[in-house]
Structure formats: structure tokens, C-alpha cells
């Protein structure tokens, strides 16, 4: 027997999404019509900010819905939250195809509801409305759902892409700047692995993008809209990569850049570090590794660290400077890659290679550079790379500037 399952899903830009004149939020996949009640799951903060508008939308459009509110934040990405969603779906009597739930919130509630939908009745469709930058440029394209379990990130999860994802960049206007920066960490990853033009925008407009929450207020006379361009290029880049390998049967994935050393740090530091913050640090760690190997030009490493700083992200954290933690992180990620490093390293900004021969000494050397960057984010990274030995004490902060 050989059965093939086709998978198609849409990511649609839907401006002014909570305006009842815009039919996108209520629309079902495949032009179906819905005659019974649907579940709308909202993130707690989203409910506070947009709850009234969302309720008015469904009242005015005459779509019958029930609500569930869930907390955001990675410490709430748990199996218990998934079961809460499942119970609510059962209570409402959600059908298999005709009443897909809608999830409105950040990456955490998206992952929780996605997992619940993929388990309920062995899998039902659902609709995603991401409301964070990270959710819009990364989670929105992904086919994956998941929750953290027993201290491991996304240890329980499924592949279950929703048929429709709706993107309204205006929803980002209410995000705290720290969340915007975290989202830009994923945009930076995409820029580094395949999009030098996107990197140029982050390098040039990093701090303004954060201050404006990517809203491009008073679009400039030259028509330049860096915020909109970042969102579009990051989504397109991610979609191009995932389409080739949606089910991850190939474990060498350049989109895993920034996700090799970060998972352990993120889980150990929870809730201190946001996902995109840890990803940006991992991007720097991996760039330091490549620069010390001589494959990434030092000048480009310097630009990467400067851009991270310009966005307002920290290039490092003490845990990235801890050699045993970094070695454990690599070993754990290798288990996720069937025993291989399959490490994406940069040959330049926008150019990558896979390597499997990074030694413990190289990891230790990069960690020592990161230890200094954690204390002094503006230390001269190229000099640090040139002068930091793989063993012994790291140089004193301020010794290299």
C-alpha cells in the first residue's frame, strides 16, 4: 500500500482583521459553510486588548462562537493547557471538519491549540491568527505544534499545519518592545542563512523597527516600508525553506540555525529568556564558531554582533559562556538529529554550509568568547576571537575593545 497525503495551506495577509466588514476571520477553508458553534481561543493579553473587538466581530457577523482564554509565555506551554482545549472542544461538540477552532495569540497558544486540534478526534483543522512578531514570521509558516515536557522544549508535538493562517501586521502595534526584539531575533536568523537584503534592513533600521513595532508610521517619501518588508521577506524565506522539507525527513535544515545551542539555555533560563532572544544568541555563538574556523570573514561577524546590539538584543548570556552547558546543548541537539551535528555554519551573511566535525575544543573556544560578550556586549568580537584560547581563563572584559 502506498497512500499519499497532499498538504496545502494558506498564509493570508488580512489587514484590519477584526473589522466586521472583513470576512476573513470567519471564513472556513475550502469555501465551506458553518452551521454550528466554533471555539475561539484567545491569549490572555490579546483578550484584554482586543477581546471587545473580537466579540463584536462575531456578534455582528452572526457567527456562533464560544471562547476560551489561555495564558501566553513558555512556562504555560504545557500538556495541561492542551487538555483544557480538548475539554472545551468536547463541551462545544466540535465536529471533525466543519467547525475549525480559531486561535488568536502568540506562538505559545498557537502551539498549544495546534497540538490539541491535531489530537482531538485524531486531528481536526484549525485557523491561526498570530498576534506576535515571532508568531507572524515564524510560527505562521510552520507545520509544527508542540508543548514543553519534563524540562525539554517541544518534547511532545505533532506536524499539523492549519489550512489557513491570517496575518495582520497592525496587531503588533500593542506588543511590548521586548517582544518585538525577540521576534526580530528570528528575522535575523532568516537574514543570516539566506537573505543578505533582509540583513541590510535590520542592520540599517534595527532600532527604528523596534521603536515603530514594524508599523512604518508615515511611510517615507521614497515609499520605503522596512517594517512591512521585514515581515514579508521573513515569511517568504521561511516558506521557501519549509516547502522543500515540510515533514523534516531531511534532518539537515538551515532554518535550524540559531536553534542548536539555544534550546537548553532557553529551558534552563525560563522564563528569563524569550525564544527569539535565545535564538539571536545562538546565531552569534554559531557565527563565532564559523569565524574562528576562518570560514566566516571576521568583518561580517562584527557586523552581525553590531546588528544584534542595534536591535537591542543581547548577543550573549552567561549560559552561552559556560563550556559544559554548551557541550551538553550540542549533545542533546545531536540526539534530535539522529546522532549527527548537522550544524549550519555561515560562510558569509546569507551563505551557509553543513558541518559535522566541530570539536569540543571549538565549542569551548566559542563559549569563552561568549562569556566575555555576556559581560560586555560591545566588546570587540573580532579581537576576542583572535585572542581567546580554547582553554584557560577568558580575557578580562575591557581588555579588548
Ligand X SMILES: NC(=O)c1ccc[n+]([C@@H]2O[C@H](COP(=O)([O-])OP(=O)(O)OC[C@H]3O[C@@H](n4cnc5c(N)ncnc54)[C@H](O)[C@@H]3O)[C@@H](O)[C@H]2O)c1
Q: Minimum Å distance from CB 181 to ligand X?
A: 11
Q: Which is nearer to ligand X, 44 or 212 (CB)?
A: 44
Provide CB contacts within 8 A for 3, sequence distance 6+.
none
From the list 103-111, 291-299, 343-351, 370-378, the region that binds ligand X by CB under 6 A is 103-111
Distance, in Å, from the CA atom of 128 to the CA atom of 167, rounded to the nearest integer, reads 9
The stretch among 95-103, 169-177, 253-261, 370-378 that binds ligand X (CB under 6 A) is 169-177
Which range, of 70-78, 221-229, 249-257, 355-363, touches ligand X by CB under 6 A? Answer: 70-78
Residue 102 within binding range of ligand X, rule CB under 6 A: no
- Name which of 236 and 302 has its Cβ closer to ligand X: 236
Give the shortest CB-131-to-ligand X separation in angstroms.
4
Q: Which part of the chain contacts ligand X (CB under 6 A), choosing from 170-178, 196-204, 351-359, 382-390?
A: 170-178
395 lines the binding site for ligand X (CB under 6 A): no
Does position 51 interact with ligand X (CB under 6 A)? The reply is: no
In three-state form (DSSP H/G/I as H, E/B as E, the rest C), the secondary structure along the chain is CCCCCCCCCEEEECCCCCCCCCHHHHCCHHHCCCCCCEEEEEEHHHHHHHHHHHHHHHHHHCCCEEEEEECCCHHHCCHHHHHHHHHHHHHHCCCCCCCCCEEEECHHHHHHHHHHHHHHHHCCCCEEEECCHHHHHHHCCCCECCEEECCEEEEECCECCCCEEEECHHHHHHCCHHHHHHHHHHHHHHHHHHCHHHHHHHHHHHHHHHHCCCCCCCCCCCCCCHHHHHHHHHHHHHHHHHHHCCCCCCCCCHHHCCCCCHHHHHHHHCCCCCHHHHHHHHHHHHHHHHHHHCCCCHHHHHHHHHHHHHHCCCCCCHHHHCHHHHHHHHHHHHHHCCCCCCEEEEEECCEEEEECCCCHHHHHHHHHHHHHHHHCCCCCHHHHHHHCCCCCCCCCCCCCC
Q: Which of 28, 34, 49, 334 binds ligand X (CB under 6 A)?
A: 49
Q: Buried b vs exposed e over 232-245: b needs ≥16 C-beta within 10 Å?
A: bbbbbbbeebbeee
Active-site choice (144, 189, 194, 244): 144
Q: How far is the CB of 62 from ligand X (least distance, A)?
A: 26
Q: Which is nearer to ligand X, 17 or 65 (CB)?
A: 17
Q: Which residue is nearest to ligand X (CB)?
A: 107
User: Which residues in 18-47 contact ligand X (CB under 6 A)?
Assistant: 43-46
User: According to the binding rule CB under 6 A, does residue 72 interact with ligand X?
Assistant: yes
Of residues 182 and 352, the one with the C-beta less far from ligand X = 182
Q: At closest approach, how far in Å is the CB of 171 from ligand X?
A: 5
Nearer to ligand X, 174 or 229 (CB): 174
Where does this chain touch ligand X (CB under 6 A) — which range of 69-77, 91-99, 159-167, 365-373?
Answer: 69-77
Between 143 and 355, CB nearer to ligand X = 143
Q: Is 282 in the site for ligand X (CB under 6 A)?
A: no
Positions in 174-193 near ligand X (CB under 6 A): 174-175, 179, 182
CB count within 10 Å of CB 95 equals 16
Shortest Cβ distance from residue 71 to ligand X (Å)? 7
Number of residues that bind ligand X (CB under 6 A): 30
- Count CB-CB contacts under 10 A for residue 372: 24
Inter-residue contact 285 to 343 (CB < 8 Å)? no
**Residues in region 353-372 near ligand X by CB under 6 A:** none
- Cα–Cα dist 179/74, whole Å: 13
Q: Give the contact letters, 121-150, x = binds to ligand X (CB under 6 A), - = no.
A: ----------xx-xx--xx--x-x------
Does residue 194 carry a catalytic annotation?
Answer: no
Among 100, 101, 107, 169, indicate the residue that binds ligand X (CB under 6 A): 107
242 binds ligand X (CB under 6 A): no
Rounded Cα gap, residues 78 and 152, in angstroms: 11
Q: Work out how close the CB of 129 gets to ligand X at its nearest, in angstroms, rounded to a whole number.
A: 10
Would you name the residues annotated as active-site residues? 144
Residues forming contacts to ligand X in the complex (CB under 6 A) are 43-46, 49, 72-74, 77, 105-109, 111, 131-132, 134-135, 138-139, 142, 144, 171, 174-175, 179, 182, 274-275
Amino acid at each position: 500500500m502506498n497512500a499519499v497525503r497532499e498538504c496545502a495551506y494558506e498564509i493570508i495577509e488580512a489587514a484590519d482583521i477584526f473589522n466586521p466588514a472583513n470576512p476573513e476571520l470567519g471564513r472556513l477553508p475550502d469555501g465551506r459553510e458553518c452551521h454550528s458553534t466554533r471555539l475561539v481561543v484567545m491569549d490572555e493579553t490579546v483578550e484584554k486588548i482586543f477581546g471587545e473587538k473580537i466579540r463584536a466581530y462575531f456578534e455582528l457577523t452572526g457567527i456562533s462562537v464560544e471562547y476560551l482564554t489561555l495564558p501566553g509565555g513558555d512556562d504555560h506551554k504545557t500538556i495541561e493547557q492542551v487538555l483544557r482545549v480538548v475539554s472545551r472542544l468536547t463541551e462545544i461538540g466540535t465536529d471533525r471538519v466543519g467547525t475549525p477552532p480559531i486561535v488568536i495569540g502568540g506562538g505559545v497558544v498557537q502551539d498549544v491549540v495546534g497540538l490539541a486540534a491535531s489530537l482531538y478526534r485524531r486531528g481536526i483543522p484549525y485557523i491561526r491568527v498570530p498576534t506576535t512578531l515571532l508568531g507572524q514570521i515564524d510560527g505562521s509558516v510552520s507545520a509544527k505544534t508542540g508543548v514543553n515536557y519534563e524540562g525539554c522544549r517541544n518534547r511532545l508535538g505533532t506536524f499539523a499545519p492549519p489550512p489557513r493562517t491570517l496575518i495582520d501586521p497592525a496587531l503588533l502595534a500593542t506588543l511590548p518592545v521586548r517582544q518585538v526584539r525577540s521576534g526580530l531575533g528570528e528575522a535575523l536568523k532568516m537574514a543570516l542563512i539566506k537573505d543578505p537584503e533582509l540583513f541590510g534592513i535590520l542592520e540599517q533600521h534595527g532600532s527604528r523597527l523596534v521603536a515603530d513595532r514594524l508599523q512604518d508610521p508615515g511611510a517615507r517619501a521614497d515609499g520605503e516600508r522596512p517594517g512591512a518588508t521585514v515581515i514579508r521577506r521573513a515569511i517568504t524565506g521561511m516558506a521557501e525553506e519549509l516547502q522543500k522539507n515540510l515533514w523534516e525527513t531531511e534532518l539537515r535544515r538551515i532554518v535550524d540555525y540559531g536553534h542548536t545551542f539555544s534550546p537548553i539555555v532557553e529551558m534552563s533560563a525560563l522564563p528569563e529568556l524569550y525564544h527569539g532572544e535565545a535564538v539571536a544568541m545562538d546565531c552569534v555563538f554559531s557565527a563565532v564558531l564559523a569565524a574562528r574556523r576562518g570560514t566566516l570573514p571576521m568583518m561580517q561577524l562584527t557586523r552581525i554582533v553590531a546588528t544584534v546590539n542595534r536591535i537591542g538584543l543581547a548577543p550573549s548570556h552567561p549560559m552561552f559562556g559556560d563550556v559544559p552547558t554548551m557541550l551538553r546543548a550540542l549533545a542533546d541537539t545531536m540526539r534530535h538529529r539522529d546522532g549527527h551535528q548537522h550544524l549550519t555554519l555561515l560562510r558569509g551573511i546569507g551563505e551557509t554550509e553543513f558541518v559535522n566535525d566541530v570539536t569540543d575544543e571549538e565549542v569551548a573556544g566559542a563559549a569563552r568568547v561568549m562569556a566575555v560578550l555576556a559581560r560586555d556586549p560591545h566588546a570587540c568580537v573580532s579581537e576576542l576571537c583572535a585572542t581567546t584560547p580554547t582553554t584557560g581563563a577568558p580575557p578580562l572584559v575591557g581588555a579588548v575593545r
